[in-house]
Amino acid sequence: MGLLIGESSGRRSGYRRPWLRWLGWVILGLLFAGFARQCTSLYLNNSSLQPVGPLKGPLSGLPRVTETCRPHTHLMFLKTHKTASSTVLNILYRFGEEHGLRFALPMGYMLGYPFAFNVHRIKGYRGNRAAKYDIMANHLRFNKDEVQKVLHKDTFYFSILREPLSLAKSSFAYFHDICPTFRKAGSLGAFADSPGSFHKAHLRNSHYARNLLWFDFGMDPNANVTQEQVREGLVTIRKNFKLILLSEYFDQSMVLLRHALCWPLDAVVSFTLNKAHYRPPQGGAEDGFDLRQPVVNVSLTPAQREKLREWNALDWHLYQAFNRSFWEDVRHFGPERMDQEVALLRARRDQLAGVCLPKAGEPVEAHHIGNKDIRPYQCGSVRILGYELQQGLDNATTEACLRLIRPEIQYKDLLDAKQFPRSQPYIGDPAGKLDVNGLSQSVLKLPFTADGNPESPVSKYTQGQKDA
């Protein structure tokens, strides 16, 4: 079943008066003229506490290498699910692309997930003695022994967590159609009432229903919750990962990250990618999208919240522990300094949004995005929002802006084409994907049909799981 979102655009245009639109164009034109004078292209600066000045010059280089701070270029990001990790991935893709770093790319879009990572899932892998990879960041289930085989010794490992209840909601809405546990339960409330009665841990994709973070870190999500078990898990994670970020405090996380990596501010400025837009439960008139699609009910009573928290107790402990560490890190960093840097980061984000994005920078629904190269992939009963690109920018600015808004599927394709110039017949041509003959299409490999409409994600997704 497709999302049938194409139909709403017609309804949408009805409420705009022609003179209003005309006025809009005039204002846009004036705004654009202002920008055009100010900035021929984006200048992404190195320093942290500079006031945000006018934009000029090319995209950032590495910050100066100093004795105390040398930019990290060897990175392992454990991309957890439903945690804003796509936005972090964008940051890594951009940085890697700008600096010509070598990615451990998957053959499809995930490195063997949900199976424990194995080096043979890396596209073009040529054995342990071949050159190491600089960045590994696509979805995988963590497996230290295999991961470290292909990464440099000084690789910086980090990841991101999200509060488990909101993660459960997001996971339920996003994976409802492919996770047998969720599908059987129907609503998140029903699931929370007696999760055990719906959960068959051995079924494919059931892992999305319980302790998903714990699972992604390579540990057993159905383990009995004992102090010993929790402690052991936390110790292992602390041993393997240098930094654990939190989606709830994304901007603070980016500040910590940039200092840990010795990266310029602009390297960690981003727009939220893969953001979900939930359908309203009653399917009201809200901007006129199709109402025939069944709505996934994720509302919970306080009692159900408590039960769900218990069901995800391993993740709960994980989050609690790293939430504490996170704020210790912030104290160590200096709360005032943190506030300053967060303000700077936000100002810079607003500034870049003003340059790159039309319409005040609000993310829009996929079907409003004309350019397929930047239209986000859709999955499940939530709609994933994306960004339109401002028209009329010069080439360098266009390129810089595209990097910021390019969805992860298309970005992976682009990097893939760069790293494997001969194996990839096209760049940014979703229709062309249909002609990739014989390639076993891994998960999300065919996000759009030839006419550009998102097609049913479910069959592709489950098929990908099989391939993985």
Ligand X SMILES: *[C@@H]1O[C@H](CO)[C@@H](O)[C@H](O)[C@H]1NC(C)=O
Q: Which parts of this chain interact with ligand X (CB under 6 A)? A: 43, 45-47, 50, 52-53, 63-64, 163, 187, 189-190, 222-224, 281, 297, 299, 301, 323, 327, 395
CA nearest to 94, candidates 411, 428, 353: 411
Closest to ligand X by CB, 61 or 124: 61
- Taking the complex as a whole, how short is the minimal distance between the CB of residue 462 and ligand X, in angstroms? 26
Q: Is 311 helix (H, G, I), strand (E, B) or coil?
A: helix
Q: Which run of H or E residues covers position 51?
A: none
- Taking the complex as a whole, how short is the minimal distance between the CB of residue 222 and ligand X, in angstroms? 6
Closest to ligand X by CB, 307 or 412: 307
CA distance 402 to 359: 16
CA distance 251 to 269: 9
CA nearest to 212, candidates 120, 78, 306: 78
Can you name the residues that pair with 161 across neighbouring β-strands?
Answer: 246
- Taking the complex as a whole, how short is the minimal distance between the CB of residue 333 and ligand X, in angstroms? 14
**63 prior amide bond cis, ω within 30:** no
Q: Using the 8-state DSSP alphabet, how is residue 451 labeled? A: T
- Taking the complex as a whole, how short is the minimal distance between the CB of residue 208 and ligand X, in angstroms? 19
- Taking the complex as a whole, how short is the minimal distance between the CB of residue 64 and ligand X, in angstroms? 4
- Taking the complex as a whole, how short is the minimal distance between the CB of residue 401 and ligand X, in angstroms? 14
Q: Which run of H or E residues covers position 385?
A: strand 383-386
Residue 157 vs residues 297, 321, 440: alpha-carbon distances, Å: 36, 18, 31
Q: Are 110 and 464 in contact (CB under 8 A)?
A: yes
- Cβ within 8 Å of residue 166, ≥6 positions away: none
Closest to ligand X by CB, 222 or 240: 222
Closest to ligand X by CB, 91 or 161: 161
Return the residue nearest ligand X (CB atom). 189
Closest to ligand X by CB, 161 or 357: 161
- Taking the complex as a whole, how short is the minimal distance between the CB of residue 332 and ligand X, in angstroms? 14
Closest to ligand X by CB, 125 or 327: 327
Closest to ligand X by CB, 289 or 461: 289
Residue 324 structure tokens:
């504490």
Rounded to the nearest 10°, the torsion over CA 361, 367, 371, 374 is: 60
Query: Which DSSP string do the residues of 8-32 spell out, in sequence order?
Result: HHHHHHTT--HHHHHHHHHHHHHHH
Closest to ligand X by CB, 143 or 247: 247
- Taking the complex as a whole, how short is the minimal distance between the CB of residue 47 and ligand X, in angstroms? 4
- Taking the complex as a whole, how short is the minimal distance between the CB of residue 304 and ligand X, in angstroms? 6
Closest to ligand X by CB, 6 or 283: 283
Rounded to the nearest 10°, the torsion over CA 445, 451, 452, 455 is: -60
